[in-house]
Structure 1
Amino acid sequence: MTSRATVARVAAPAAFLLAVTVAVLLVRSGLRAGERPAGSSGAVVAPAGGQTVSVRAGDTLERIAARHGTSVAELLRLNPGIDPIGLRAGRRIRVK
């Protein structure tokens, strides 16, 4: 086998893997386009006044509502823009 054929035999799979890696990174960044930047806290600013609580790991709006004697609808009203599916531990939300 010639030297050129050997280089092509090694370079082709390497080029393919590089292309696939770049494609995966581009798709992942496109899917994350709607997320907040990594440096942001992602916190929803609770309106002034009232009682706020910090979300615990594993909390749902249903658990928080039950713990504080309110409803999920009321939590959503008090915290406009909150993502009920994307609750993160440490986020402060208004409960009253």
Structure 2
Amino acid sequence: MRLRHICEACGTEAILESEVAFTAGWDYPPRMGQFGVIGPRVCPNYAINRTVWWALAMEGYTADMLNPQQQAVIARIQAEPASILVDGNGGAGTC
């Protein structure tokens, strides 16, 4: 399955097969975490301490404390995998 991988920390985007992404060090479902469940979504260059998950689980943030970018990450995660699915032509797919 080809997915659009989007790093929460730096904004890097890559369209990768799940196994390739995992081998390269991406923290992304389905190998790391679950679709639709808030967890880190980062590239190999960033640690989880710059993620929405970290803000909520480790720093005790509540939903009203999140900035618009963090709220957008949550919306994208909740709509996974459809929100990151890529069709055979490299474009965003629909389920």
Instruction: Give TM-score, length-normalised by structure 1.
Output: 0.20
- Of the two structures, which has the highest relative contact order with CA contacts closer than 8 Å and spacing of 6 or more? 1
Instruction: Judging by fraction of residues, say which structure has more helix.
Output: 1
